[in-house]
């Protein structure tokens, strides 16, 4: 039976067949709802809408427009749903901050089980290292290195006999472990250069004096203890001093402030001029030079110069730089002239050597 049309009185057979074909293309609503999650992806949003159009106006054209509007409405609705941002790798400052936070958590015993485990493992390694260095055995650094290399050679020999093909493909030069070690070594060298510029650049006289004082204290401790003993003491202090400072930082700060205030008030009460202070410093250095070795004399001379530098004004520093500029320029010229003479001498000396290949 033909379908009735308001204008023409009936629907042409080709239009009826086209409507039937498009009716078969319609999908159930449940399947549409299940696939709506793909509408919010960038790939789907960039695709052009494939709306169904009909030549004849009527129910089919209205149906196509309705489906297009339905998909557009659902796409807009889904775009309002908050989605988790893509995970991005941490940059270098954030990574350093996270690493430092982890170290603080361990040293401050915020996770007692992990801190206790690391402390026990570190103590065992310290005792093992102390036995290796000071135990009743004949192992030395050279012999221990040779033993490690011989063990590596034995493992490679066994590997070559049991799996020759895998051994042939194994190359330590291009291994990921070696590349990782090289990367970490480069990062360590860069970090060492950064710490040099931070602590040893001598830009701030007060900061330079503090760094020099700390290095002097470490040099005295190094003369009393070995590097291994200092490492053991530093390990134990790392797990005890931060916790004690966290619990008693108020009392420690008050003691430091009172001691500094007391010393400063007693020193200011003397009312010494700069010349008198310089004379006292010179007398103290002279007394140390008479009864000390050359290392102590050098350290005291450096500390004295740093103390003087801390009391100089900006105009005095500028005057010293202006006075020293001609001497520095002359010294640079002499060094350059000597380097040219040495290079010319080395070139002529090496060029005049006769080898058996000539």
**Tens of pLDDT along 28-70?**
445 545 555 555 555 555 555 444 444 444 444 444 444 445 4
CA distances from 61 to 65, 101, 117, 153 (A): 6, 64, 74, 82
Which pairs count as long-range contacts for 306-314, CB under 8 Å and 24+ apart, including other chains? 306/205, 306/208, 306/209, 306/212, 307/209, 307/281, 308/278, 308/281, 309/205, 309/208, 309/209, 310/205, 310/206, 310/209, 311/274, 311/277, 312/205
What pLDDT is recorded for position 189? 92
Cα torsion at 97, 102, 104, 105 (round to 10°)? 140
**Tens of pLDDT along 10-32?**
556 556 666 666 565 554 445 54
**Tens of pLDDT along 258-310?**
898 888 888 888 887 877 877 887 787 777 777 778 888 888 888 888 888 88
Q: Which tokens go with 292?
A: 């000390």
**Tens of pLDDT along 172-208?**
777 788 888 889 899 999 999 999 998 888 888 889 9
What pLDDT is recorded for position 37? 52
253 pLDDT exceeds 50?
A: yes
Q: Which tokens go with 95?
A: 């990574």
What pLDDT is recorded for position 73? 52
Residue whose token pair is 């200011």: 268
- pTM exceeds 0.85, yes or no: no
**Tens of pLDDT along 137-170?**
777 778 888 989 999 899 888 888 888 887 777 7
356 pLDDT exceeds 50?
A: no
What pLDDT is recorded for position 50? 46
What pLDDT is recorded for position 164? 81
Residues 320-342 have a mean pLDDT of 87
What pLDDT is recorded for position 283? 82
**Tens of pLDDT along 84-124?**
455 455 566 677 777 788 888 888 888 889 989 999 999 99
Reported in sequence order, the residue ranges of 75-121 that DSSP labels E, i.e. its strands, are none
What pLDDT is recorded for position 151? 92
- Taking the C-alpha atoms of residue 165 and residue 159, their distance in angstroms, rounded to an integer, is 10
Q: Is 174 helix (H, G, I), strand (E, B) or coil?
A: coil
């Amino acid at each position: 039976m033909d379908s009735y049309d308001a204008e023409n009185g009936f629907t042409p057979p080709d239009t009826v067949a086209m409507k039937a074909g498009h009716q078969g293309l319609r999908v159930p609503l449940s399947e549409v709802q299940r696939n709506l999650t793909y509408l919010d992806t960038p790939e789907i949003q960039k695709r052009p809408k494939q709306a169904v159009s009909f030549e004849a106006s009527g129910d089919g054209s209205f149906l196509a427009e309705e489906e297009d509007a339905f998909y557009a409405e659902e796409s807009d609705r889904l775009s309002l749903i908050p989605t988790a941002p893509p995970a991005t790798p941490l940059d270098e400052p954030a990574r350093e901050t996270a690493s430092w936070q982890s170290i603080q958590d361990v040293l401050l015993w915020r996770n007692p089980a992990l801190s206790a485990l690391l402390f026990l493992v570190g103590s065992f390694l310290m005792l093992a290292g102390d036995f290796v260095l000071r135990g009743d055995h004949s192992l030395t650094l050279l012999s221990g290195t040779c033993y490690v290399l011989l063990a590596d050679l034995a493992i490679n020999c066994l590997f070559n006999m049991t799996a020759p093909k895998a051994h042939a493909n194994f190359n330590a030069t291009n291994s990921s472990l070696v590349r990782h070690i090289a990367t970490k070594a480069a990062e360590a060298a860069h970090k060492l250069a950064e710490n040099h510029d931070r602590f040893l650049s001598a830009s701030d006289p007060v900061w330079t004096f503090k760094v020099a004082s700390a290095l002097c204290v470490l040099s005295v401790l190094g003369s009393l203890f070995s590097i291994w003993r200092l490492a053991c003491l530093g390990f134990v202090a790392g797990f005890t001093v931060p916790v004690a400072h966290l619990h008693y930082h108020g009392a420690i700060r008050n003691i430091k402030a009172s001691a500094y205030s007391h010393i400063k008030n007693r020193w200011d009460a003397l009312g010494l001029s700069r010349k008198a202070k310089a004379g006292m410093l010179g007398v103290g250095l002279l007394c140390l030079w008479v009864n000390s070795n050359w290392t102590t004399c050098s350290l005291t001379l450096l500390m004295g110069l740093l103390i003087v530098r801390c009391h100089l004004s900006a105009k005095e520093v500028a005057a010293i730089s202006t006075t020293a500029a001609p001497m520095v320029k002359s010294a640079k010229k002499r060094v350059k002239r000597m380097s040219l003479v040495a290079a010319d001498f080395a070139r002529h000396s090496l060029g005049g050597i006769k080898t058996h290949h000539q």
